[in-house]
Chain A
Amino acid sequence: MTTVAARPATMAQALTRALRDAMAADPTVHVMGEDVGTLGGVFRITDGLAAEFGEDRCTDTPLAEAGILGAAVGMAMYGLRPVVEMQFDAFAYPSFEQLVSHVAKMRNRTRGAMPMPLTVRIPYGGGIGGVEHHSDSSEAYYMATPGLHVYTPATVADAYGMLRAAIASDDPVVFLEPKRLYWSKDTWDPEDPPAVEPAGRAVVRRRGSSATLLTYGPSLPVCMEAAEAAREEGWDLEVVDLRSLVPFDDETVCASVRRTGRAVVVHESTGFGGPGGEIAARVTERCFHHLEAPVLRVAGFDVPYPPPMLERHHLPGVDRILDAVGRLQWEAEN
């Protein structure tokens, strides 16, 4: 047995490895989408898969997202486990009807006779200088659709484990990949990836006692940075990485908020009608008597995603998070 020492790997590499391992482990796993074959995808996440498994297992499709997802539905009906790549968040919208009317509903409509074990991978979010239609945070649409699971990893290890779990799931999973974290690195052994846990649980990334930052995906590193900066202000912040928006882990979230008594939800998605409203409501309903202040949200503004030269004003940053923490009614403590 050979062992390779853990070394820095990117989230993109971990995702590629997850796809490769899933395809090797299960011959029913089929990767399909635009440019995923010869090119290896515009972000190179499917790099090498067509060469290793053949074009029948990693297929360049015509450029038509509804057709891609609709065909994947038919393939899943026949017992395959399709993994669809949508090229960018905003380019997934043509497939919305297939997702909402069929992918999400097929199991329920047929009383379980026709499950939809398919994964829809969507690179999402901003911060990469993308021009219009390349930076949307579309998670609220998917969260609002019963029947779907919605996962979004924020670390290299989770990218691997959660994508494996998504592909292994007998439910359809919208797998949102924070594209600005594709090149983030962490120490991770690609030869000995961690065991795949069932997804659906949040995790505490940083222990703290003053307040809880509830976040996910691209905003996790920002929250970790904010928590470090907050030490200068005398706040010891806890950071919870939600990881799975559906199912939602009320237990981990509420346990943290009950400990700290204060919470701020942080995400790139717009605030109005965004995930933060649901999360704040759930926390308030369950932890009201533990709260020292209203649950606050730090979100993208309620504007169409800005052009790249203006996006830094839109994205939740450390200062905006610290401002929100500062508004958590600390005067009551004195």
Chain B
Amino acid sequence: MTVMEQRGAYRPTPPPAWQPRTDPAPLLPDARPYRVLGTEAAGRTDPDLLLRLYRQLVTGRRFNAQATALTKQGRLAVYPSSTGQEACEVTAAAVLEEHDWLFPSYRDTLAVVSRGVDPVRALTLLRGDWHTGYDPHEHRVAPLSTPLATQLPHAVGLAHAARLKGDDVVALALVGDGGTSEGDFHEALNFAAVWQAPVVFLVQNNGFAISVPLAKQTAAPSLAHKAVGYGMPGRLVDGNDAAAVHEVLAGAVRRAREGGGPTLVEAVTYRVEAHTNADDAGRYRSESEVETWRAHDPIVLLEEELTHRGLLDEATRTAARDAAEAMAADLRARMNADPALHPLDLFAHVHARPTAQLREQAEQLRAELEAEAEGAGR
């Protein structure tokens, strides 16, 4: 055998452990946010669904306005509004079955209310009479999570536990664009993909983390692209197009329910209000930018579609508005009553049974309260 023949037979040995893994192509998001309203796809949507979403959007917008008004009246300590993001908020609740779970972040009070939680109970965190005012098990809604992205691994763990028990449960977890920079976002997506947990992650990319724009948050092609690195599909959707958000989320939920594993959905939307009532958005963005988004408002987009299809008459508009006003009036009336406060509850739920030290401290507070009441009585 010649030297050349020997060289011809030579093949570099591949590293023994290396195998091709997931093909990334099917995981990649669309190049542009998926749209339904105003496109050919709109014709295929169920008119009843569109009308239902319309009524929920109108009520949702009114809820945000009422909650913001309550901050001005001193009835809420703070309110991070989801005005402009209502299509994501109401749809997140709409795509879930009763036995599914929702994991909200602090900006998602509207999603919590849309899931059926009493608004007054959903708002205790922001009123300040207790942290979580509702029993999470009642409507299968986790507590509103203020530490960013920390609720995402909870959703993964709960979905994983349900699957181990053989229960049909999907967890839908909400997070913002800023939250995608947190380590817990990365770890949650990684765990979900490794465990093939029935979870849907919905990132509402509203453009800002308080004042910091997306450009300073990430260099990724889109937030949906982050899914590919974990081996799950990423979906990019127009977050102000309620029909598109509904279709994409419902598809992701169905996929999770059928054992297909997790999906990351990025909904491109806009935070029309400031971060909270305590924020001054004029310091970091122009009013003209806000105006371009007001023109792409989720309610306007849906109204245009419904009108185009002859589904929106004046009676329907009025009925939607009246229902929203009734909700707001009820919320206003109930929030205008001072909440009953129970100071000794501070000690009641720290542990299953209070420690000796906490019993001592509860006694101290009880004595202080009695002295206070006596003083007030004199």
Which A residues contact B (CB, under 8 angstroms)?
A: 30, 56, 61-62, 64, 66-67, 69-80, 82, 94, 97-98, 101-102, 105-115, 146-147, 149, 169-171, 200, 246-248, 250-251
- Chain A residues whose CB sits within 8 angstroms of the CB of B349 once the complex forms: 107-108, 110-112
**Residue ID in chain A nearest B352 by CB atoms:** A170
- Chain B residues whose CB sits within 8 angstroms of the CB of A115 once the complex forms: 352
Which B residues contact A (CB, under 8 angstroms)?
A: 130-132, 135-137, 142-143, 147, 150, 152-162, 164-165, 171, 183-184, 186-188, 190-191, 194, 345, 348-352, 355-357
**Residue ID in chain B nearest A200 by CB atoms:** B355
A23 CB → nearest B CB, Å: 14
Q: Report the Cα distance A132→B350, complex, angstroms.
A: 35
Assuming the A-B contacts A70-B157, A77-B142, A146-B350, are A114 and B137 also in contact, with contact meaning beta carbons closer than 8 angstroms in the complex? yes
Asked whether, in the complex, the Cβ of B153 is within 8 Å of the Cβ of A250, the reply is: no
Tell which of A76, A109, A146, A246 touches B132, judged by Cβ atoms closer than 8 Å: A109
Asked whether, in the complex, the Cβ of B350 is within 8 Å of the Cβ of A67, the reply is: no
Across the A-B interface, give the 6 residue pairs with the lowest CB-CB distance, nearest first: A74-B157, A70-B153, A67-B187, A71-B157, A74-B158, A78-B161
Assuming the A-B contacts A97-B147, A113-B135, are A67 and B357 also in contact, with contact meaning beta carbons closer than 8 angstroms in the complex? no
Assuming the A-B contacts A64-B187, A98-B150, A247-B356, are A112 and B348 also in contact, with contact meaning beta carbons closer than 8 angstroms in the complex? yes
Of A72, A74, A114, A250, most buried by chain B (CB within 10 Å of CB) is: A74
Tell which of B130, B152, B191, B352 touches A62, judged by Cβ atoms closer than 8 Å: B191
- Chain B residues whose CB sits within 8 angstroms of the CB of A73 once the complex forms: 153-154, 157
Write 18 A-B pairs (CB below 8 A) sorted by A numbering.
Answer: A56-B164, A64-B183, A64-B190, A66-B153, A67-B184, A67-B191, A70-B152, A74-B153, A74-B158, A77-B136, A77-B157, A97-B184, A110-B143, A114-B136, A114-B143, A169-B352, A171-B351, A248-B357
Total contacts A to B, CB within 8 angstroms? 138
Q: Report the Cα distance A97→B351, complex, angstroms.
A: 19
Assuming the A-B contacts A62-B190, A62-B194, are A246 and B153 also in contact, with contact meaning beta carbons closer than 8 angstroms in the complex? no
Asked whether, in the complex, the Cβ of A70 is within 8 Å of the Cβ of B188, the reply is: yes
Q: Report the Cα distance A309→B293, complex, angstroms.
A: 64
Assuming the A-B contacts A77-B142, A98-B150, A149-B351, are A110 and B161 also in contact, with contact meaning beta carbons closer than 8 angstroms in the complex? no
**Residue ID in chain A nearest B159 by CB atoms:** A74
Assuming the A-B contacts A62-B190, A109-B132, are A74 and B350 also in contact, with contact meaning beta carbons closer than 8 angstroms in the complex? no
Asked whether, in the complex, the Cβ of A71 is within 8 Å of the Cβ of B348, the reply is: no
**Residue ID in chain B nearest A248 by CB atoms:** B357
- Chain A residues whose CB sits within 8 angstroms of the CB of B161 once the complex forms: 74-75, 77-80
- Chain A residues whose CB sits within 8 angstroms of the CB of B186 once the complex forms: 64
- Chain A residues whose CB sits within 8 angstroms of the CB of B132 once the complex forms: 109-111, 113
Q: Report the Cα distance A76→B131, complex, angstroms.
A: 19
- Chain A residues whose CB sits within 8 angstroms of the CB of B356 once the complex forms: 247, 250-251
